[in-house]
């Protein structure tokens, strides 16, 4: 599991940090690093990461000193001088000494640094399987099991930060997730961000998470489609084959009708749609009916993701309402997969451990949990399918299947 935030010693700063979003490079890239996706130069929002004994090339707006051995970390956190490597006084620019939890930082990572420089947050991990940018915490649904409970506050600055990250993406970046909250609540900001993405990183595969309700507005859907990104898909949850149960789960009257109309509007404009189904206590009994509904009414969708529950956010206080042990719904899950796969609809199973899945469902299982909240139990270390399994959510705490076991 990666830690995406960590301490920093800002004693090497003479004033506020010049920018809040930086891409990390190494000294050996000093001559070749031309900046981000839109070609910004090394003095602009590029931070040079120095490890023990490395000299600092001039011309960068920020220098990061990586943590060394444990004793050295303690000294550095106290602002003490290093025994090896460059001294702060001899550096060609402002310096942050990183805490040990950020020892994984490497070239191509993108970080957020506040004005005072005392903490560093990783916004893009170049080596990660999945990277996603949070665009808002506002939402017009209030799902019983929401892992990111909505917050009613002005967070428009998140779109500005996302724009900076996209500008700084390394050339090797291939896929980007955009999530919330509900990003479509900020229609102009979202369309502007997608246009920016097309302008500076048109090769990206973009996956947008949305509840789909805003796409019931034909005008907005046309604006979305008109951006013309070559590879974009919107992931939309549908939790039941009828309005009553879906609207109860998302706690919003009329949501089902708007969501389905939104999916139909997207399809009419040739836009790729993924349907997401969180498998929980209320959706288990209707999984096969929902699969049949999709086959009958929405056969054009790009794929269906059947998703294991992350027991965090609202899922924790609502645990008696939503928790279902995956081992107990294998029959229902298998029936839904059979219906979808027989109809030729690409089907994926996310967030499930192989040891609780029927073996015939293993080909559909995907390692889908983000690196920063993904781990394995001690009993998993001896499992013969360890490398193929997606592991567990660290955010779920002890609320895991009671049937986890190593496979011989």
pLDDT score, position 92: 84
Contacts of 60 (CB under 8 A, 6+ apart): 25, 30, 42, 43, 46, 47, 48, 92, 93
- Condensed to tens digits (0 to 9), the pLDDT of residues 92-131 reads 889 999 999 999 999 999 999 999 999 999 999 999 989 9
For the beta carbon of residue 349, count every other beta carbon within 10 angstroms: 25
Look at the pTM and tell me if it is higher than 0.75.
yes
Dihedrals phi, psi of 369, to nearest 5 degrees: -75, 130
Q: How far apart are CA 216 and CA 364, in angstroms?
A: 31
Asked if 96 and 8 count as a contact pair (C-beta separation under 8 A), the reply is yes
DSSP result, 224-268: HHHT--SSEEEEEE---SSHHHHHHHHT-TTHHHHHHHHHHHHHH
Range with lowest mean pLDDT among 71-85, 140-154, 213-227, 349-363: 71-85
Mean pLDDT of 323-352: 98
257: tokens are 């009708």
What's the half-sphere exposure (Cβ side, CA atoms, 13 Å) at 44? 12
Look-up of token digits 């981000």 = 36
Contacts of 57 (CB under 8 A, 6+ apart): 27, 30, 48, 92
> Is 83 a residue whose pLDDT tops 60?
no
pLDDT score, position 12: 81
> Is 79 a residue whose pLDDT tops 90?
no
- Condensed to tens digits (0 to 9), the pLDDT of residues 7-24 reads 999 888 888 888 899 999
Contacts of 275 (CB under 8 A, 6+ apart): 235, 236, 237, 238, 263, 294, 298, 301, 303, 304, 305
Domains observed in the chain: 5-124 (3.50.30), 132-396 (3.20.20.70)
In the chain, % helix, strand, coil (3-state, to 5) comes to 35, 20, 45
Nearest to 169 by CA among 136, 139, 206, 124: 124
Dihedrals phi, psi of 359, to nearest 5 degrees: -60, -30
Contacts of 214 (CB under 8 A, 6+ apart): 182, 184, 185, 187, 220, 262
Mean pLDDT of 74-103: 64
Asked if 98 and 109 count as a contact pair (C-beta separation under 8 A), the reply is no
Mean pLDDT of 262-291: 98
The length of the chain is: 408
For the beta carbon of residue 239, count every other beta carbon within 10 angstroms: 26
Nearest to 335 by CA among 306, 366, 356, 368: 306
Asked if 168 and 39 count as a contact pair (C-beta separation under 8 A), the reply is no
């Amino acid at each position: 599991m990666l830690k995406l935030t960590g301490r920093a010693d800002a004693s090497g700063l003479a004033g506020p940090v010049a920018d809040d979003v930086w891409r990390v490079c190494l000294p050996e890239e000093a001559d070749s690093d031309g900046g981000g996706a839109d070609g910004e130069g090394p003095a602009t929002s590029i931070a040079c990461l120095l490890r023990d004994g490395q000299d600092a090339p001039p011309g960068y707006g920020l220098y990061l000193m990586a943590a060394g051995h444990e004793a050295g970390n303690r000294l550095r956190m106290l602002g003490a001088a290093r025994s090896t490597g460059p001294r702060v006084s001899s550096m060609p620019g402002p310096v942050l000494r990183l805490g040990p939890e950020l020892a994984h930082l490497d070239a191509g990572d993108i970080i957020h640094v506040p004005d005072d420089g005392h903490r560093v947050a990783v916004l893009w991990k170049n080596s990660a399987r999945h990277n996603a940018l949070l665009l808002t915490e506002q939402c017009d649904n209030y799902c019983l099991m929401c892992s990111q409970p909505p917050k009613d506050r002005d967070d428009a600055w998140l779109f500005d930060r996302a724009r900076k990250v996209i500008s700084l993406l390394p050339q090797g970046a291939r896929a980007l997730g955009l999530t919330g909250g509900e990003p479509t609540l900020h229609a102009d900001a979202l369309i502007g961000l997608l246009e920016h993405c097309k302008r500076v990183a048109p090769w990206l595969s973009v996956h947008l998470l949305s509840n789909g309700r805003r796409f019931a507005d034909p005008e907005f859907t046309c604006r979305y489609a008109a951006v013309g990104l070559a590879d974009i898909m919107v992931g939309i949850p549908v939790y039941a084959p009828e309005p009553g149960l879906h609207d109860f789960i998302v706690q919003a009257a009329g949501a089902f009708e708007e969501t389905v109309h939104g999916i139909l509007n997207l399809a009419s404009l040739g836009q790729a749609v993924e349907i997401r189904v969180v498998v929980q206590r209320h959706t288990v009994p209707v999984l096969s009916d929902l699969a049949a509904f999709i086959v009958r009414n929405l056969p054009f969708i790009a794929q269906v993701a059947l998703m294991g529950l992350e027991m965090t956010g609202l899922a924790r206080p609502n645990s008696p309402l939503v928790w279902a042990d995956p081992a107990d719904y294998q029959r229902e899950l298998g029936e839904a997969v059979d219906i979808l796969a027989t109809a030729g609809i690409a089907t994926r199973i996310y967030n499930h451990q192989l040891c609780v899945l029927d073996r015939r469902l293993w080909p559909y299982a995907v390692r889908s949990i983000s690196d920063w909240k993904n781990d394995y139990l001690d009993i998993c270390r001896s499992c013969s399918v360890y490398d193929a399994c997606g592991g567990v959510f660290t955010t779920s705490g002890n609320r895991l299947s009671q049937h986890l076991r190593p496979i011989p």
